[in-house]
């Protein structure tokens, strides 16, 4: 496709006349951020008037619903009640943060069904219902564990076990039923300094021009650094390794991570899509880290070597402009779109949710953040999911793409 047009806002080359998808989604987000109570009420009443279309593929009602969940953390008990009465269990997010009585109603339904597809939907709804207040005493946790230990007949038709279903709600459990939390409630976006002055284009934010010096200061002072090139090289392609995230958790915004130092996640950006398993590294709190051995898929490479096709992009990657935002956003802020990089919260897994098992303690790692490749290199695809085990000081980088 010839790129004859330019996005009127950010100047990116485009094959059509109009805004690029990043600017369009950004505009949408800024609009929703300004929603008042009445705007939200309107979204919910629109859904209620079109319940039959709510769950359809690319339903605008579902899109609106995801928007207010992601940007306003809004849930509607009325919507939950009406959906439950009408046997509507998709989109699962309807039941996010459901009350204890709704949780109980969903559990009763699950325990009384023989229908595997209904059971599968209910497991998803329950996982999401549990997220906000899950603890060792949670009935949802106990039931999921019981179903894991003594699987009912419908389990045979499901693709994964209940410990994997639980992941959609940000938790799982070990063989003894002990709770493991996989996601933080807190979420902070990684914004781009290069976007700061673009906001004026739509007059969504009226603020003064942010000078180049101020932009550089923001990046320099950001406790999260993205894609920092290292001196050591990848054993497969001989290209430079990158610290895809360097998170100084001593910053007050990042206190929720509970780490008194720097978390570093390292990988080779050229090869990360071709590893057989997540890319693991150990890190020290002083900001140093060491990548563990990785293997390239046999179908890709006979002798475990790769061509380094990334060298031309090093300058572009370095110039990524990403810095940690000041204000917290809801946990689902980055869960439904591929245009915001985030620390904490939920990720937008392109394929299935994937949580690395820590090789030292055998527990699941927690999600530290997600970085979309197109935020580093224009037009490139895929997302990096960064997870870590605080106790063992290990990090993992997973790559997924469509």
Other Cβ atoms less than 10 A from the Cβ of 251: the count is: 15
DSSP output for 62-77: HHHHHHHHHHH----H
State yes or no: residue 3 binds Zn ion (CB under 5 A). Answer: no
Q: Is the CB of 12 or the CB of 250 nearer to Zn ion?
A: 12
- Shortest spacing between CB 333 and Zn ion, in angstroms: 20
- Shortest spacing between CB 174 and Zn ion, in angstroms: 12
Q: Does residue 363 contact residue 180 with C-beta atoms inside 8 Å? A: yes
- Shortest spacing between CB 27 and Zn ion, in angstroms: 10
* Distant-in-sequence contacts of 377-382, Cβ < 8 A, 24+ apart: 377/313, 377/316, 377/317, 378/12, 378/316, 382/273, 382/350
State yes or no: residue 6 binds Zn ion (CB under 5 A). Answer: no
* Residues 315-374 interacting with Zn ion (rule: CB under 5 A): 358, 360-361
- Shortest spacing between CB 285 and Zn ion, in angstroms: 15
Residue range at the interface with Zn ion (CB under 5 A); choices 96-104, 179-187, 267-275, 330-338: 267-275
State yes or no: residue 392 binds Zn ion (CB under 5 A). Answer: yes
Q: Token pair 């799982």 is at which residue?
A: 172
State yes or no: residue 10 binds Zn ion (CB under 5 A). Answer: yes
d(CA 96, CA 73): 10
Strand partners, 248: 262
d(CA 351, CA 198): 32
Return the percent helix, strand and coil in the chain, to nearest 5. Answer: 35, 20, 45
Residue range at the interface with Zn ion (CB under 5 A); choices 104-112, 114-122, 199-207, 230-238: 230-238
Q: Considering only residues 109, 236, 246, 253, which one is a binding residue for Zn ion as defined by CB under 5 A?
A: 236
Q: Is the CB of 129 or the CB of 241 nearer to Zn ion?
A: 241
Q: Considering only residues 143, 168, 270, 342, which one is a binding residue for Zn ion as defined by CB under 5 A?
A: 270
- Structure tokens, 397: 């980088």
Residue range at the interface with Zn ion (CB under 5 A); choices 233-241, 278-286, 296-304, 341-349: 233-241
Interacting residues toward Zn ion by CB under 5 A: 7, 9-10, 12, 20, 23, 234, 236-237, 239, 268, 270-271, 358, 360-361, 389, 392
């Amino acid at each position: 496709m010839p790129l004859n047009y330019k996005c009127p806002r950010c100047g990116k080359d485009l094959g059509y006349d109009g805004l690029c998808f990043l600017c369009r989604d950004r505009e949408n987000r800024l609009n929703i951020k300004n929603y008042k109570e009445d705007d939200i009420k309107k979204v919910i009443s629109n859904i209620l008037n079109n319940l039959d279309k709510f769950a359809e593929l690319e339903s605008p009602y579902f899109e609106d619903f995801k928007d207010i969940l992601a940007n306003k953390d809004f849930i509607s008990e009325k919507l939950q009640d009406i959906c439950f009465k009408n046997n509507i269990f998709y989109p699962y997010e309807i039941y996010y943060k459901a009350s204890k009585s709704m949780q109980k109603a969903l559990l009763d339904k699950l325990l009384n069904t023989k229908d595997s597809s209904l059971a599968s939907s209910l497991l998803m709804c329950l996982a999401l219902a549990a997220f906000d207040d899950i603890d060792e005493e949670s009935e949802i946790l106990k039931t999921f564990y019981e179903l894991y230990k003594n699987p009912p007949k419908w389990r045979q038709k499901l693709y994964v076990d209940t410990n994997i279903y639980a992941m959609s709600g940000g938790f799982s459990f070990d063989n003894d039923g002990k709770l493991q939390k996989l996601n933080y409630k807190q979420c902070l976006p990684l914004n781009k300094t290069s976007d700061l002055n673009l906001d004026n284009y739509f007059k969504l934010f009226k603020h003064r021009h942010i000078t180049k010096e101020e932009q550089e200061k923001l990046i320099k002072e950001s406790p999260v650094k993205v894609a920092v090139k290292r001196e050591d090289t990848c054993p497969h392609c001989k290209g430079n390794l990158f610290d895809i995230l360097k998170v100084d958790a001593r910053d007050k915004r990042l206190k929720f991570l509970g780490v008194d130092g720097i978390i570093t996640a390292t990988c080779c950006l050229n090869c990360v899509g071709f590893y057989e398993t997540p890319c693991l590294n150990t890190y020290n709190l002083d900001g140093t880290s060491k990548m563990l051995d990785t293997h390239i898929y046999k179908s890709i490479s006979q002798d475990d070597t790769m061509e380094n096709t990334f060298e031309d992009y090093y300058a572009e990657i370095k110039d990524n402009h990403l810095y940690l935002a000041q204000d917290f956003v809801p946990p689902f802020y980055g869960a439904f779109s591929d245009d915001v990089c985030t620390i904490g919260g939920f990720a937008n897994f392109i394929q299935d949710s994937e949580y690395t098992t820590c090789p030292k303690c055998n527990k699941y790692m927690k999600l530290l953040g997600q970085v979309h490749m197109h935020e580093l290199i224009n037009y490139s695809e895929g997302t990096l999911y960064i997870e870590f085990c605080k106790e063992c000081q290990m990090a993992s980088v997973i790559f997924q793409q469509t």
